[in-house]
Amino acid sequence: MNEKEDQNNLPSSIFHLPSIKEGALFVADAHYPHHGDAFLDLLKSLDRGEITTPQLFLMGDIFDLLFDCGGTYIRRFSEEAIALLQRLSIRMEIHYFEGNHDFLLKNIFPNINVYPRQAQPVLMQWGERKVALSHGDRYETGIGYEIFTFFLRSPLILRLLRLREKTIIDRQMARLSRKNICRNYPDFDEKARRILAHYPESVDLVIEGHFHQGRQIGKYLSLPSLACQRKIGVVRGEGIDLVTAEELRSSENNIL
């Protein structure tokens, strides 16, 4: 399917779309567990009721490496966070947009609305506006990335991985723990404009993670990375405020 066909298949009416609610939280690129405990602490605060929200949007790369290959070894690196998410998903509306570090997640999180890469972008309604949501690695990635992404999710590759699961995952986790993920894109404004060209003009706002920028360029919002900027998006009125978890815990900011 080409990109124009993707656009034509997006719903045209906001009245058939799920809604983004006041107080919804947007979390992107926590890269847990290698880049601090901010995500784990957020889940604990949600579990204890210190932070409340009607919706939690997880915009991909929440875990530095997590996918379902049929085994359970990979889950050992993030057991507490996985268990908290599973428990929260029973009583909270959660939307998880798979990223390039976390994918094939539906069996791990059966009560969460999980959107694989091929199902993104997803359109939702925010008041009278039509919003497109995606992790951020859907467009302008290059043919090499597309081939890599395809094979990474291939059932055959995953079956082969099972033969040396522990060795491969240990090596990859060690590599990721040393990776510098926080950097600026000097030409990001132009990149944002190229990405927007793939979306229908009828979309009023595009929300993506992946790039760790925490910036809005026209109708393109690049969410901050929880690992880098330590910020979360919260829907307030007509906008999305970028705040820290500490600000959310305070009584004047925890609005629900």
| pLDDT single digits (tens) 160-188 | 777 788 998 999 999 999 999 998 888 99
Total count of residues recorded for the chain: 256
Mean predicted lDDT score pLDDT of the chain: 90
Structure tokens at 10: 């997006």
Q: Which of the residue ranges 124-138, 169-183, 195-209 would you say has the lowest mean pLDDT?
A: 169-183
147 domain-assigned: yes
**66-88 pLDDT, tens per residue?**
999 888 899 999 999 999 999 99
194 domain-assigned: yes
Alpha-carbon distances of 65 from 105, 168, 207, rounded to whole Å: 11, 12, 22
DSSP 70: S
- In this prediction, residues 38-42 reach a mean pLDDT of 97
- In this prediction, residues 109-131 reach a mean pLDDT of 97
Given CA atoms 43, 49, 53, 54 in this order, what sign does their dihedral have? positive
Residue 141 domain boundaries: 3-8+22-249
Q: What pLDDT, on a 0 to 100 scale, did the predictor assign at position 84?
A: 98
DSSP 67: E
Q: What pLDDT, on a 0 to 100 scale, did the predictor assign at position 164?
A: 85
Q: What pLDDT, on a 0 to 100 scale, did the predictor assign at position 219?
A: 97
256: pLDDT strictly greater than 80: no
6 vs 180, residue with greater confidence: 180
Task: Give residue 2's pLDDT band: very low, low, confident or very high (50, 70, 90).
Answer: very low
Q: Is 172 helix (H, G, I), strand (E, B) or coil?
A: helix
Question: How many C-beta neighbours within 10 Å does residue 18 have?
Answer: 13
What CATH number is attached to the domain comprising 177? 3.60.21.10
How far apart, in whole angstroms, are the C-alpha atoms of residue 77 and residue 192?
Answer: 34
Contact in structure between 38 and 247 (CB atoms under 8 Å): no
Number of domains in the chain: 1
Closest CA to 64 of 105, 109, 101, 114: 101
224: pLDDT strictly greater than 70: yes
254 domain-assigned: no
CA 184 to chain centre: 19
225 domain-assigned: yes
Query: 17: number of CA atoms within 13 Å, CB side?
Result: 22
10: pLDDT strictly greater than 80: no
Q: What pLDDT, on a 0 to 100 scale, did the predictor assign at position 255?
A: 52
16 domain-assigned: no
Q: Which residues contact 244 (CB under 8 A, 6 or more apart)?
A: 230, 231, 232
Question: How many C-beta neighbours within 10 Å does residue 31 have?
Answer: 28
Contact in structure between 49 and 81 (CB atoms under 8 Å): no
3: pLDDT strictly greater than 70: no
Give the residue carrying structure tokens 């690196």.
77
Whole-prediction pTM value? 0.90
Structure tokens at 62: 């929440």
Closest CA to 20 of 147, 133, 161: 133
- In this prediction, residues 206-217 reach a mean pLDDT of 96
86 domain-assigned: yes
253: pLDDT strictly greater than 70: no
255 domain-assigned: no
13 domain-assigned: no
Amino acid at position 127, single letter = G
- In this prediction, residues 220-231 reach a mean pLDDT of 97
